[in-house]
Each structure stands twice: as structure tokens, then as C-alpha cells.
Amino acid sequence: MKFVGSYTKEFKDILIASAVSAQNVMTISKPGWGKTEMAIQSARAIAPDGFAFIELDPSTPPEVIRGSYDPAAMLNGQLVRLVAGTPYDPTAHVVILDEIWRANDVVFDALVHATNQKLIDQINRPVFWGTSNFVGKAERTEALRDRFAMWLYMEGTLDAAGIINAHLNNGTGFDPDWNKDIPVWEECLKIRSSHVSEKAQEAITQMIENLHDEAIASKFDVNPRRIVQWSEILSRVSTLYYGSTDFDTVHPNAAWMLRYAYPCETADRAKAWKEVAASISDKVGTAIESYRAIALEKFQDVAKANSDPSEKTKLMAELGQVLVKAEQEFKRIGAGDPRSDAAMKELTQWFSKAARGEKILS
């Protein structure tokens, strides 16, 4: 299957972040978005002979997770557990739990242990990728939800023509471009076992402390596990993209992952978390969005006042002050960031259009 749309890259990047940081991922979407197929192909690229795919439903027995005893060995008085294809299979580096929230309570209890195996060190621990069309919100599943560090509510604008073209020309076969830039398991282990420099630790600590404070202020619960998850994501993903553990600032791709690094039970809650994380991890992007919104509102006021010259003059002056403040803020926090220059160019063009009485299209 050929995957089409911007959301596919987002999903791929999150799965890569999961593999290098040993953090589990939960993906929620309506049926038909290809999340299961993309997860399978990503798992094959990371560990061709080392992943397990488990389909879950209300009748799934716990043995699918825990393994079962070998009946032949029991006849000889031995207890030998068969774990091939389960999360306890030593060759299963990536475990895909398809339709996870359709399972039953006994399986949920088994997964609480399986997704955080204490006898396997953090470096070698398998990662779990859950997929579902909804989220199990019962109190019984709270511990299991907490085991998943990153949550993606998959959405986006569909490219109908692109989907049709890709399907008719590529059918349902393997997408040869999908596994580009996906690290293999040995590379993931190398990144997991690396030790970041003192400067890198300082950068990571500062960002997490800021995120912690903002999360608490926004009434998001932060427990010790969350701190560990964030630090692993920031350190390992930065190492992946910098190619070194000696970095002075957290890599933008790692900072971006913080937008997904909270177990949100609803899409609205996930959106609120993204705003919290963005204010810490992407100050430039947040400032641009804020000033665009303020400026657009002013532009609309100007358009309404075109028939009143004095009112329009007053509003244009206020609009000019918004642009001045925006430029100062962009220079302060986004010097050298091309997005700042692009945003100022756009706002300036909007100012000129407003002065001429033209409509502003955002």
C-alpha cells in the first residue's frame, strides 16, 4: 500500500521516536486511515525478523499475551512456557497491539505487566504500538494507558487524487520508499545506550522543567514516569537527528515529539496538551500563530471600517503596533529561524493589503 498525506509522515516520525527512545505509542483514528499497515511496515523496517503482531478482541485469551504452557512438556512433569509471537518472545523487539481497546479486562491486566517488563533493562526493552478506533476509559485500564508515552489522534486533509493514483499504480504491495530513514534495531539500541553530554543534559532538564511547570499550571497531572518518558524522548531523538550526544540545544524534531507525550483520553484533551507543549517546545511557532491570529482580527476590523476614514486610520495605527511587537518578539526568540522572516513578510503583505482596502485571506 502506498501511503499518501502529511499525516503519514507524522505517524512515521512518532514510530521512529518510539523505537529509539523505548517509549510506547498509542494511535487513535477512525477506520481506514492505514495506521495498522503503516505500523506493520515500520516494524518490518526496524526489525524484519523481530516483531510481533497481535490482533485483539473481546474473546482474546490472556495466553496470547502471556504465552501458554507446552502440553507435551507437562506430560513429562515440566513447565515450559511457549512465548513465540507474544510480547515475551525475546526476538520481538516491536509489538503491535491492533485494536487494543477491544480486548477484555484479563488481557488488559496482562498487558500492564507486558508493556513494562521489569526484568528487561530499558535499553533492550521492546516497544509497543497500539492502534484503535477509540480509547478505553474505564478505571481498570488507567495503568495500561499510563504505559503509553506518546499519543497520536490521526487526522488530516485527504488527497483523493493521490490516494487513487497510488492505489491503482502500486496496489496493495510493499511501499519501497516507506522504510527510508527508518533506523534498524541495532541502531536503535546504540542510541538508547548512549550517554548525553553535560550540556545536552542541561538543555533537556531546562525544557522538561519548563514543561512540568506549564503542565501543572494547565491542570495536567505529572508523575515521575512522565519525567522519565520526556527525558528519554528528548535525549534519544536529539541524538538520532544530531548524530551525536554532544548537543547544546534539544533538536526541533525531539521538541516536537513533546506534543504527543501525554496519555490523552480524548482528541480535545490531546489538542489542549499540544498547546501546552508547543508553548515550551516551539516558542517561535507559538509566537507566529499568536501574532497571526491577533493581526488577522485587526485586519478584519480594518475591513469593516473602510467606510469610516478616521476609524480606519486609528485601526491601521494599532495594526502597525502589532507588527512592531511581532518583529521585536521574533528577533528575541527566533533570530535566524526562517519561519520568523516568512511570518514577518506575510504580515507586512497583509498590512499593505489592508491599507488598500483589500480582503485578507488566512
Is pTM beyond 0.95? Reply is no
pLDDT at position 226: 95
Greater pLDDT, 101 or 353? 101
Q: What is the mean predicted confidence (pLDDT) over 329-348?
A: 78
Residues 104, 124 contacting (CB under 8 angstroms): no
Q: Are 233 and 192 in contact (CB under 8 A)?
A: no
Q: In this structure, what C-alpha cell is assigned to residue 49?
A: 525478523
Chain segment 137-194, per-residue pLDDT in tens = 888 899 999 999 999 998 766 667 777 776 776 655 556 677 888 999 999 999 999 9
Domain ranges of the chain: 1-192, 194-281, 283-355
Class of domain 1-192: alpha beta
Q: Give the residue-averaged pLDDT of 275-295.
A: 79
Flag whether pLDDT at 113 surpasses 90: yes
Q: State the amino acid at position 146 in one-letter form.
A: D
User: Which cell goes with 250?
Assistant: 534539544
| CA–CA separation, 54 and 87 (whole Å) | 9
